[in-house]
């Protein structure tokens, strides 16, 4: 039976995301054969149970758009602060390349640090203002692709959709750990500075 159907161990991330979106159990067949709907339904249910067991969607689902934006902004601010510091001493080639890619010009000297400073200030203001934006209500039709996209946003890079579903677990766990750490950091900052708008 396993040779006829895709399983948690051999289905690609893309195929499972499409199946989850369309809810068409025929997408789980490796070989297109006519089978009774109850068998297809049973196979689909088993796979969805295994996915639910391995991916606690609530780990990332509670992160709304605001929290993900905050995580991304916090990471960017931290990266810019590190770039600023490194550029004040003898910068390695990689940092000079990052500066050029970000600002479209070569780093010439201390005078260019003002660009980074302005960026940091702008992003910090945006970070503080997120709390005052109205939250968009969550949709009822949350799907697995949303979980993948949230994972990518938190990690800050794209995930190849051709990897197997079980391999995605590694990225999901990394995103969950990073999100928890960022939430903990945000709570510490909120406690330290209060929830006052500057």
Verify that 60 and 103 share a domain, yes or no: no
Centre a 10 Å sphere on the Cβ of residue 133 and count the other Cβ atoms it contains: 10
In a domain, 92, yes or no: yes
Examine residue 145 and state whether it is found in any structural domain, yes or no: no
Residue 135: the pLDDT is 57
CB neighbours (10 Å) of residue 179? 22
Residue ranges of the chain with per-residue pLDDT less than 70: 1-3, 57-68, 131-142, 186-198
Does one domain contain both 53 and 10?
yes
Based on the number of CB atoms within 10 Å of its own CB, is 172 exposed (0-12), middle (13-18) or buried (19 or more)? buried
pLDDT of residue 168: 93
pTM, rounded to two decimals: 0.60
Domain coverage including residue 49:
1-64+161-198
Query: pLDDT by residue (tens digit) across 37-94?
Result: 888 888 888 888 888 888 876 665 555 566 667 777 787 888 888 888 888 888 889 8
What's the confidence (pLDDT) of residue 31?
A: 78
Q: Work out how many domains the chain is built from and give that number.
A: 2
Same domain, 187 and 176: yes
The pair phi, psi for residue 139, each rounded to 5°, is -80, 150
Query: Do 41 and 92 lie in a common domain?
Result: no
CB-based contact 46:170 (threshold 8 Å): no
Q: Where are the beta strands (DSSP E) in 30-91?
A: none
Domain membership flag for residue 177: yes
Per-residue confidence (pLDDT) for residue 192, from 0 to 100: 58
Are 80 and 57 members of one domain?
no
Task: Tell me: do 166 and 190 sit in the same domain.
Answer: yes
pLDDT of the residue at 153: 76
Per-residue pLDDT, 170: 92
Q: What is the pLDDT of residue 2?
A: 54
CA distance 151 to 160: 12
Q: How far apart are CA 16 and CA 141, in angstroms?
A: 16
pLDDT of residue 163: 93
Report DSSP letters for 128-197, one per residue: HHGGGSPPPPPPS---HHHHHHHHHHHHTS---TTSBHHHHHHHHHHHHHHHHHHHHHHHHHHHHH-S--
Same domain, 46 and 76: no
């Amino acid at each position: 039976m396993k040779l006829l159907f895709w399983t948690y161990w051999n289905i690609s991330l893309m195929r499972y995301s499409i199946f989850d979106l369309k809810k068409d159990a025929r997408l789980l067949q490796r070989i297109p054969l006519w089978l009774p709907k109850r068998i297809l339904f049973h196979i689909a249910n088993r796979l969805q149970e295994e996915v639910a067991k391995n991916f606690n969607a609530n780990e990332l689902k509670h992160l709304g758009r605001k929290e993900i934006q905050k995580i991304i902004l916090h990471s960017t601010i931290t990266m810019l602060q590190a770039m600023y510091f490194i550029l004040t001493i003898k910068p390695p080639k990689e940092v000079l390349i990052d500066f050029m890619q970000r600002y479209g010009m070569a780093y010439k000297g201390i005078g260019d640090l003002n660009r980074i400073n302005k960026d940091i200030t702008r992003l910090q203001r945006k970070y503080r203002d997120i709390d005052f934006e109205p939250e968009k209500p969550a949709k009822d039709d949350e799907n697995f692709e949303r979980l993948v996209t949230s994972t990518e946003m938190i990690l800050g890079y794209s995930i190849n959709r051709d990897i197997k579903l079980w391999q995605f677990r590694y990225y999901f766990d990394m995103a969950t750990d990073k999100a928890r750490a960022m939430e903990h950091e945000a709570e510490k900052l909120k406690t330290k500075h209060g929830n006052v708008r500057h």
